[in-house]
Structure 1
Amino acid sequence: MVRFKNRYVTIEILSPMIPDNKPLSLKSKIFHDTLVDKIQQLHGDFGVAAVKTGLMTKYCNENTRIAIIRSRHGPHRFVTSSLPFITKLGKLDVSLRTLHVGATLKHSFKFIQKHQRAYLDSMWATLKTDDERKALEAAVMDFTKADVKINIETLG
């Protein structure tokens, strides 16, 4: 049996149009399709064929604007080289910043936890009530935003 190695790319989605305290309406399907289109444009059919098998959006958090993409080891270079060239997700103007490339999802979530804790500390000063703070902490530290149904559809 052959073991396939994966790489998990943690990215931050920056949008100058929407303020930092407002969540993005970001769907992992739109993000996935935009990424495949950009890989097609930059690396052609070979790039898409190499990436398509293992490419999956594992996590999207609209509040902190962080996403995790899983790709196979090797073709993950096509993914990481295409990310800076994505300027639109749907109708939204964005710029993508690669934060971390890890070998396991566990290490990516550890990195995100540190990153989101720093984000949470910076946003707490802007909130007035304790209820708002608790709601923001629950939204920021929620790691269940993986849209598994859409990802299973793209595998078939």
Structure 2
Amino acid sequence: MVRFKNRWFLVEFITVSPESSQQPSFDSKQLYSAVRQSVISNFGDTGWGAVGMSLTIKYFSPTTNICIIRVARDQHKLAWGAITLLTSVNGVRIIPNVVHVSGTIKHTQLAAIKHNREIISRFRARAKNPAAYHAQDSYEPYLVQSTREIEVLQE
């Protein structure tokens, strides 16, 4: 039995538009298509041939713009380059920020949950809500739901 070794990317897509607080108008399928196009335009068909079979988007949150991407270990640098060279997804200008790279999904899940909490705390600070109201704001159900969704991801 052969074990396939992967690399897991945790990527945050920062929107560049003046209305950066509004949610992006793209989903995981459009994101996959944009990464595919980035690989093809920057590394050619040979690059896509190397990366294409193993590249998958396992999780995408339109609320916090974070994404978990899996790719084969041997081609992870090619995929990383294509991700960082992305400039837009479905007409939305973005800046990709690779937050974490790991060899296991478990470490990526832990980093994603931690990063989600950091982003939500930034949202709360921007809204200037007192700390006592955090348990009652609209982000708490999202944190619970996203944590569950991230924890159930499997290779």
The normalised TM-score by structure 2 is 0.83
| Matched-pair contact (CA < 8 Å) for 1:64–1:140 | no
Partner of 1:36: 36
- Is 2:139 the counterpart of 1:136? yes
User: Distance in 2 between the 1:102 and 1:77 partners?
Assistant: 12
The residue correspondences of 1:17-96 to structure 2 (distance < 5 A) are 17=17, 18-20=19-21, 22-96=22-96
Say what the alpha-carbon RMSD is for the aligned residues: 2.3
**What amino acid maps onto 1:89 in structure 2?**
V
| Matched-pair contact (CA < 8 Å) for 2:38–2:85 | yes
- Is 2:101 the counterpart of 1:101? yes
User: Distance in 2 between the 1:122 and 1:45 partners?
Assistant: 40
Q: Following superposition, which runs of at least 4 residues in structure 1 exceed 3 angstroms of deviation?
A: 127-134
User: Distance in 2 between the 1:34 and 1:120 partners?
Assistant: 26
Partner of 1:152: none
Extract unaligned runs of 5+ from structure 1. 149-156
Which 10-residue stretch deviates more, 90-99 or 119-128? 119-128
| Matched-pair contact (CA < 8 Å) for 2:134–2:140 | no
| Matched-pair contact (CA < 8 Å) for 1:127–1:133 | no
Give the aligned length. 145
User: Distance in 2 between the 1:91 and 1:133 partners?
Assistant: 35
Q: How big is each residue's C-alpha offset from its partner over 1:94-145, in whole Å with a ceiling of 9 and x where there is no partner? A: 1111111111111111111222222222322316594895421222451438
User: Distance in 1 between the 2:7 and 2:47 partners?
Assistant: 16
User: Distance in 1 between the 2:43 and 2:136 partners?
Assistant: 44
Shift in alpha-carbon separation, 1:118–1:45, aligned structure 2, 3 A: same
| Matched-pair contact (CA < 8 Å) for 1:64–1:119 | yes
The normalised TM-score by structure 1 is 0.82
**What amino acid maps onto 1:31 in structure 2?**
L
